[in-house]
Structure formats: C-alpha cells, structure tokens
C-alpha cells in the first residue's frame, strides 16, 4: 500500500521501519473505520506529494521578493501561486497563506486589528465558539475582554437580538462570527450591519465552511468581513494550515501580523500544498464535491432524526451536524466510545443548552471517499445500532469495515 512518494519509494520502510509501521497503521485505521470528525478530510495524493517535497527544506522568512534568506527563487513562485489562486477562488483582494494553522490565522487577525484589553464579541464557547474566541485557557481569553453571544433555546439558531444588544451595550472593537459546531449558514450581512452600527471590525472565522465557500455551497464572507480567517484542511481538503483574506487596505497590517509579529519562517512545503489544494478547489469536480458534502450531511441528519436522535437546529446547511444521543439513553461521552468501538470516529461537543455533551460529526471525508446519500442512510442505521448495542456490536463493526472497504480513501 502506498500513499506518499516517500512510502512509495520505500525509503522510510528501509530506513525507519518502526515509523513506517506507524504510518501504515494509521493509513489502515483511516481506511477501515469511518471518519466523521467534522474537521477532517482526505487530501489528494498531489497535496501529500507537495507536503513531502524538498520545499520542506527551505527557510523563507518574509514574503516573496523580500525574504530574509537566500535561495528563495522557487518558493517565491510557489507562494505567489498560492496567493493568486486563493484570491481568485474567494474573490479577495488580498490573501496571506503563511498562517501555520487556523488558530494562528485568528491570532494574526486579532494582532492586525486589536490591542490587548480590547472588547471582542464572539459566539460563546458553550454554544460553539472556538478556543480562540475567548477561552480562558487560550491567549484570546487572557489578552482580550471577550463577550459571548449564544443561540435561541427553541430553534438553536443564533440569537440575533442578543448579538445586537450585546454589541450596543458592550461596544466591542471587533465582532467574530464563526463556530466549531454551528451547522447552519451564517448571515454575514447581518453581522456586518451590527458591526457597522457600533463601529466594530468584523472578523469571519470561516475555518469550517471555507471549503463549501470554494465550491459554491455556502455564502462567501469575503464581501462582508474586514478579515476572513480560515483553515485549509477541513472541507477545503488541503494541508493542515491556515490563511487570511482581506481587502487591499488591510493587506499590509495582516501580512505584518503574520510575519514578523506572530510567526517566523513560512512553511513552504505547506504553502505549495495549499496552492495545489486551491487549484483543485477551483475545478467543477470540487463544486460537485462541496454540494455532495451538504447533501450527504442533510440525509445523515434526516436518518439520525428518524432513528430518534436529537438533531440541533433540526438539520444542517453545511457539512456538520450536532446531535444529542440522550433520547437513545446514552450521554455524549458514552456514545462516542460506543461508536468508536464500532469503527465510527467522531467528536463530542457542547450542546447549546444544559450541561449534556452531544456529538459533532461531518461528512467531508466520507464524501471524498465517494460515498453518497445511499451510504448516509445506511450509516444512520449503523450509528443508531452501535449506540443501542452498547459498543460490543461485532456485527456493526464488520458492516462498518465493509462499508469503509468499498470506498478506499487512497488507491491501494
Ligand atoms: C472556528 C475555528 N477556528 C479556528 C480553528 C483552529 O484551527 P487549527 O486547529 O488549525 O488551529 C478551528 C479548528 O477546528 C475552528 O473550527
């Protein structure tokens, strides 16, 4: 079995069989279980090839043509290509593709627009805000004064009145819209309107939906937000990493906030892999993929609801769902364990109201494998059976293995 050029060349196996076994063991795990972690996907072998390329050797502090290191001729071309492709893909005047991760992109956005102590309005962590949206365990909660908005108890939808009221009373310097588990499209025009009313910057943390945006399956925050932060590894299907998009007027502030303010040398292999992913995301095939991701998530949501699980907001517009397993008599943590035993891999998440933990799942990886609506309906049944079986359902594990085996993520 071969995935990366390194394994293909068998170099790693000969030089470091111990590590080669770990990589192949992980490939086996990914191929024989179902990946429903909403933040994950399977990159193409072209993306993996760029990641495993000699660009990994190159130091390149600074930006194309203004590097602190010699020998940047080729990596400059790679970074310009990534930037141009990102700008074209999202209709942005400026793109920074150096952020090492989604969190680094958010840090850079704050660094570009805020000063320590500033007030920021973002989705509360309990409702689906990310750590970088004010967790006391994160730099954001330590350095800024975060105010959290939530969702309506009945509908699970963002509580617009609360957003407006908190903005008016707390006068934040920035408003952040974006979440780790909110399954619905965000109304960026609404957030822009509130931000304008109180003179705040609008930061869209589109880490999750950005791949759907690329494929035309979700609204684009670029025309509304001052800065869009994103990851490149979720639905977008690129390497693990981050990026920022903004208008020309903030370009210099954003670039300086990434380097030299919060990062050192750019990771050129990763930037090259981002360029590959942006190129792939600009194809009609990716547009079809993004819409299939959403169609699959909707069918999965319907199937899980039919099986008796609670589905937050009653469904989804995106790749992700938040579900409550309590109606089947299991709490979130137990449910995750039972599903893992059956080979269904996902995360726990906070549920909007009360203390119970729910489950967060996404369809990006399964859709890359080629699964469609029929498989989602089948999966909903396996999912519910794994929860009811108490985790020792051997038959469910075998059926999951069989389903995964019919859709190998990489050519064997
Ligand atoms: C909304 C949001 N912001 C930021 C991040 C951070 O991304 P990373 O894990 O690459 O730092 C995530 C990751 O899941 C996210 O969902």
Q: Is 231 a catalytic residue?
A: yes
* Same-domain pairing of 272 and 291: no
* Same-domain pairing of 141 and 268: yes
CATH of residue 163's domain is: 3.40.640.10
Residue 317 lies in a domain: yes
* Same-domain pairing of 274 and 157: yes
* Same-domain pairing of 195 and 246: yes
Whether pLDDT at 244 is above 50:
yes
Residue 37 lies in a domain: no
Nearest CA to ligand 1 atom 9: 102
* Same-domain pairing of 316 and 251: no
Domain that holds residue 387: 284-406
Please give the tally of structural domains in the chain.
Answer: 2
pLDDT, residue 10, reads: 75
Does ligand 1 have an atom closer than 6 angstroms to the CB of 178?
A: yes
Over residues 233-246, the mean pLDDT reads 98
Cβ(132)–Cβ(109) below 8 Å:
no
Instruction: Given the residues 4, 45, 59, 388, select the one marked as catalytic.
Output: 59
In the reported structure, the alpha carbon of residue 64 is separated from the centroid of ligand 1 by a whole-number distance in angstroms of 26
Nearest to 381 by CA among 321, 307, 324, 318: 307
Q: Is 61 a catalytic residue?
A: yes
Rounded CA-CA distance 190/187 in Å is: 5
Predicted confidence band at 411 (pLDDT cuts at 50, 70, 90)? confident
Residue 10 lies in a domain: no
pLDDT, residue 390, reads: 72
Does ligand 1 have an atom closer than 6 angstroms to the CB of 132?
A: yes
* Same-domain pairing of 233 and 343: no
Residue ending a domain, choose from 248, 264, 281: 281
Residue ending a domain, choose from 281, 304, 323: 281
Predicted confidence band at 143 (pLDDT cuts at 50, 70, 90)? very high
Predicted confidence band at 392 (pLDDT cuts at 50, 70, 90)? low
Residue with tokens 């089948």: 378
200 to 196, 243, 406: CA distances (angstroms): 6, 22, 50
CATH of residue 355's domain is: 3.90.1150.10
Residue 106 lies in a domain: yes
Quote the DSSP letter at residue 121. Answer: E
Quote the DSSP letter at residue 258. Answer: I
In the reported structure, the alpha carbon of residue 229 is separated from the centroid of ligand 1 by a whole-number distance in angstroms of 9
pLDDT, residue 6, reads: 46
Whether pLDDT at 391 is above 60:
no
pLDDT per position as a tens digit, 35-53: 999 999 999 999 999 999 9
Alpha helices in 10-93 (DSSP H): 11-15, 17-32, 45-51, 73-90
Instruction: Given the residues 58, 192, 240, 397, select the one marked as catalytic.
Output: 240
* Same-domain pairing of 265 and 150: yes
* Same-domain pairing of 120 and 235: yes
Does ligand 1 have an atom closer than 6 angstroms to the CB of 205?
A: yes
Q: What are phi and psi of 68, to 5 degrees?
A: -90, -5
* Same-domain pairing of 270 and 349: no
* Same-domain pairing of 107 and 125: yes
Residue 148 lies in a domain: yes
Q: Is 173 a catalytic residue?
A: no
* Same-domain pairing of 95 and 174: yes
* Same-domain pairing of 262 and 339: no
Cβ(228)–Cβ(178) below 8 Å:
no
Within 8 A by CB and 6+ apart from 283, the residues are: none
Task: Please state the pTM of the whole predicted model.
Answer: 0.96
Task: State which ligand 1 atom lies nearest to the alpha carbon of 179.
Answer: 1
């Amino acid at each position: 079995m071969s995935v990366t050029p390194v394994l293909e060349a068998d170099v790693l196996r000969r030089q470091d069989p111990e590590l080669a076994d770990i990589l192949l063991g992980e490939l086996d795990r990914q191929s024989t279980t179902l990946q429903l972690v909403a933040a994950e996907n399977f990159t193409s072998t072209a993306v993996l090839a760029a990641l495993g390329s000699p660009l990994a050797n190159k130091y390149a502090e600074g930006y194309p043509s203004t590097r602190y290191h010699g020998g940047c001729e080729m990596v400059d071309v790679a970074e310009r290509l990534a930037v141009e492709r990102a700008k074209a893909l999202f209709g942005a005047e400026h793109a920074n593709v150096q952020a090492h991760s989604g969190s680094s992109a958010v840090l850079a956005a704050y660094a570009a627009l805020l000063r320590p102590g500033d007030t920021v309005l973002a989705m509360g962590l309990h409702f689906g805000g990310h750590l970088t949206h004010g967790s006391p365990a994160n730099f954001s909660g330590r350095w800024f004064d975060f105010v959290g908005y939530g969702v309506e108890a009945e509908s699970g939808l963002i509580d617009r009145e609360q957003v407006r009221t908190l903005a008016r009373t707390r006068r934040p310097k920035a408003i952040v819209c974006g979440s780790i588990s909110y399954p619905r499209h965000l109304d960026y025009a609404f957030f822009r309107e509130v931000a304008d009313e109180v003179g705040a910057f609008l930061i869209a943390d589109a880490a999750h939906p950005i791949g759907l945006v690329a494929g035309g399956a979700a609204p684009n925050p670029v025309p509304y937000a001052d800065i869009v932060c994103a990851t490149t590894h979720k639905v977008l299907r690129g390497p693990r990493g981050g990026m920022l998009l903004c208008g020309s007027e903030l370009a210099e502030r954003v670039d300086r906030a990434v380097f030299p303010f919060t990062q050192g040398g750019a990771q050129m292999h990763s930037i090259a892999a981002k360029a590959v992913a942006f190129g792939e995301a600009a194809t009609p095939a990716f547009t079809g993929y993004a819409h299939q991701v959403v169609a699959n998530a909707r069918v999965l949501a319907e199937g899980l609801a039919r099986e008796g699980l609670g589905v937050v907001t009653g469904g989804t517009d995106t790749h992700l769902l938040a579900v409550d397993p309590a109606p089947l008599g299991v709490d979130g943590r137990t449910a995750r364990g039972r599903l893992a035993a059956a080979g269904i891999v996902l995360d726990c998440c906070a549920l909007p109201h009360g203390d119970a933990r729910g489950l967060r799942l996404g369809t990006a990886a399964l859709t890359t494998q080629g699964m469609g609506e029929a498989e989602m309906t089948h999966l909903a049944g396996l999912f519910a059976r794994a929860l009811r079986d108490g985790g020792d359902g051997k038959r469910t594990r075998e059926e999951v293995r069989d389903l995964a085996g019919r859709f190998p993520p990489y050519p064997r």
